[in-house]
Amino acid sequence: MVNEYIEAFFEQLYVRYYLRYENWKAEIIQIMWEALYEARRRHRRYAGIYDFEEYAKKVIMNNVDLWIKQNGRYLFGNLSLNQKVGDDTEEEMVDFLESDEPFCSVELFDFLLQLSRIKFLICKAYIFCYEDDEIVVLLNITKEKLNEIKLELQEDFRKGYLI
């Protein structure tokens, strides 16, 4: 019973935060188990501040995020223009993208780098499937400011990227 609850909790965290890393699901679940063990050992220090589930979630997410960063498993991590194709020994100039997202391309990434910092961060947040409310909190801006920047981004895309 407890195991089923824990596995459901891990699946919920995985689907909510790490679904884009489906190739590494087994590794992420393993990191979650290790982090849960670590949280269980250290929770007594924070028992008055956090309930266990909240603390475990924080430890699990920190450990998984750290593992992803250390292993270079970013959304654009496997992007290269110079890799081997199939069994060839010769390297080809080909795009290799980890994600099937429609906005994952070298051209788009270059275009985004030319935008202002706030516009870049908003675009990146949308690529990583954040909602407007989450973006507002993350970037510490108002909803009106976000809507204003979104209109500017529409114009930027129309002028600079799509045409």
Would you say residue 20 lies in a domain?
yes
Would you say residue 114 lies in a domain?
yes
Considering 54, 70, 86, which residue would you say is the last residue of a domain?
A: 70
Of the candidates 138, 135, 23, 26, the one whose C-alpha atom is nearest the C-alpha of residue 77 is 23
Are 40 and 15 in contact by the 8 Å Cβ rule? The answer is no
Domain membership of residue 64 as a residue range: 2-70
Look at the chain and count its residues. 163
Considering 70, 95, 113, which residue would you say is the last residue of a domain?
A: 70
pLDDT of the chain, 163 residues: tens digit per residue: 468 888 888 888 888 888 877 788 888 889 999 998 888 888 777 677 778 888 888 889 888 888 887 775 444 444 444 555 556 665 554 444 444 444 455 567 777 778 888 988 888 888 777 888 888 998 899 999 999 998 888 888 777 665 4
Considering 27, 47, 70, which residue would you say is the last residue of a domain?
A: 70
